[in-house]
Amino acid sequence: MLLLDICITFIVFLIGFNYHFFSGMRGRSDKKLLRQLFFYHFGIAIAFHFYLTFFGGDAVHYWKAPKTYSLDDILAIIDQGSATGVVYLLNYIPSKVLQLSFFTGNMMYALLGYIGFVYLIKIMQHIFPELDSFEDIRIFNIPLFPWIWFLPNLHFWSSGIGKDSLLFFSIAMFVYALIDFRKRWLLIMISIILSFVIRPHILLFLLFAFGVGFMMDNRLKGYLKVLLFLVFLVGFISIFGYVQNFIQLESLEVSAINEFASERSANLNKARTGSGVDISGYPFPLKLFTFLFRPLFFDINGILAVIASVENFILLIFTVQVFRRKPFKGFRTSNYMLKAFVVYFLLGSVAFSLILGNLGIMIRQKNMLVPYWIIFGLWSLYYFQQQKKLRLANTSGH
């Protein structure tokens, strides 16, 4: 099977390396950026493979388990409501039938993660008239764009076998498809199905956020606001019961939610990775800070924690810079998509900060949220810069 592994891995690299043709991003600067992201992302994917090979992890289990199950066994696992069974099913043919290697499997998933990054760049191109203008937006004299998209954990947890890569890809595809939903309705359906079967609560956050985003967009006509809001509301209601059952939350009473959050955070604090933190006694602001910006340097317990600490420090500085530039003004003038990003980010951050007590799991869950905070943050900095230039022009004109 070595020849088949080589052929499929070569095809994966060939598609990724030339993906600018499929994406329509064929300008010289676009091509350069995608090539940089390609080499960086697949370099981290190879590191992910060897790290998991030596130290173990969920990805190894997701690839090896289908070899020991029949197709009926996997379908039975899915029938019990297990998202893990869905990953087994996706891996059944490449792992068991084709007998592909663990390395090849990681490269296939890495391609999905890379396409997710291409979608994020395409989303930015839709929102911002000129990406080149970001060269003036700097922290410590380093341009934020495009280098903020090279944060290592964003790539590490979207470059290997597992739910994280699939969800990172499906969320980016969902948002990208909404830009032109009449032509990309198939992408929307695929992303909804993927999100629903892997982590339905993330889909719930997305539907709620974009429903609110459409209602808050002053540029949309009234009847269109109502129509789009109803579509998202129907979707939200349709899956709410399933999500409530999926996370085993008995009711929406405050006491039940508090009990659920306490129990989940206590369970996740007993992590096999040794990165558990006891957040049960933390006030809510500290829980939120822990989710968004830890591990920091005082939490280091290994090489991955060092990398995560540097990345979280960068995100902390970025967030401080955004709030110094009065992001609420930018929020008011932004379109429905940027408003939805903020709602989605806040909703997910609040929910996860209440229940997660393991820094390793926090990093993986945060990967689904941070890209959309980055896009909104860049918009806020861009808006502030444009308003400053306008004021200076008006002053000099007088």
* Interatomic CA distance for residues 112 and 170, integer angstroms: 9
Q: Which amino acid is at 37?
A: L
**Whether residue 91 sits in one domain with residue 150:** yes
| Residue 330 pLDDT | 81
Write 137-141 long-range contacts (CB < 8 A, 24+): 137/378, 137/381, 137/382, 137/385, 139/317, 139/318, 139/321
**Whether residue 218 sits in one domain with residue 156:** no
Say if residue 200 is preceded by a cis peptide, omega within 30 of 0.
Answer: no
Tens digits of residue pLDDT in 248-270: 544 434 444 444 444 444 554 44
**Whether residue 186 sits in one domain with residue 91:** yes
| Residue 53 pLDDT | 92
* Interatomic CA distance for residues 117 and 121, integer angstroms: 6
Highest mean pLDDT among 16-20, 117-121, 270-274, 361-365: 117-121
Strand partners, 139: 142
**In the chain, how many domains are there?**
2
**Whether residue 235 sits in one domain with residue 191:** no
What are the phi and psi torsion angles at 26 (to 5°)? -110, 5
Whether the predicted pLDDT of 47 surpasses 70? yes
* Interatomic CA distance for residues 127 and 179, integer angstroms: 10
Q: How far lies 80's CA from each of 61, 74, 76, 245, 246, in Å? A: 19, 10, 7, 12, 10
**169 with 187: CB under 8 angstroms?**
no
Tens digits of residue pLDDT in 370-384: 999 999 999 888 888
- The conformational region for residue 162 under phi > 0 = left, psi -120 to 50 = alpha, else beta, is left
* Interatomic CA distance for residues 316 and 307, integer angstroms: 14
**Whether residue 117 sits in one domain with residue 103:** yes
**Whether residue 62 sits in one domain with residue 16:** yes
Tens digits of residue pLDDT in 212-239: 888 887 776 666 667 777 777 776 676 5
**Whether residue 223 sits in one domain with residue 95:** no
Whether the predicted pLDDT of 83 surpasses 90? no
**Domain coverage including residue 30:** 1-198
Whether the predicted pLDDT of 69 surpasses 70? yes
**Whether residue 316 sits in one domain with residue 285:** yes
End-to-end CA distance of the chain: 75
Final residue in a domain of this structure, among 143, 168, 198: 198
**Whether residue 157 sits in one domain with residue 113:** yes
Q: How far lies 283's CA from each of 186, 198, 262, 290, 353, in Å? A: 43, 31, 13, 11, 11
Final residue in a domain of this structure, among 173, 198, 223: 198
List all residues 6 or more positions away from 391 whose beta carbon is below 8 Å from its beta carbon: none
**Whether residue 151 sits in one domain with residue 205:** no
**Whether residue 213 sits in one domain with residue 331:** yes
Buried-exposed string 12-41: b where 16+ CB fall within 10 A, e elsewhere? beeebeebbeebebeeeebeebbeebbebb
**Whether residue 360 sits in one domain with residue 267:** yes
Half-sphere exposure of 75 (CA within 13 A, CB side): 3
* Interatomic CA distance for residues 142 and 138, integer angstroms: 5
Give the tokens for residue 298.
């005082």
Final residue in a domain of this structure, among 139, 163, 198: 198
Whether the predicted pLDDT of 328 surpasses 50? yes
The stretch 136-147 carries a mean pLDDT of 81
The stretch 50-64 carries a mean pLDDT of 91
* Interatomic CA distance for residues 10 and 19, integer angstroms: 14
| Residue 260 pLDDT | 42
| Residue 176 pLDDT | 95
Q: Name the one residue in this structure whose structure tokens are 């391609």.
A: 111
Please state whether the predicted TM-score (pTM) of the whole model is above 0.75.
yes
Question: Which range among 37-51, 201-215, 358-372, 384-398 shows the weakest confidence by mean pLDDT?
Answer: 384-398
Tens digits of residue pLDDT in 179-223: 988 899 999 999 999 998 898 888 888 988 888 888 887 776 666
| Residue 138 pLDDT | 78
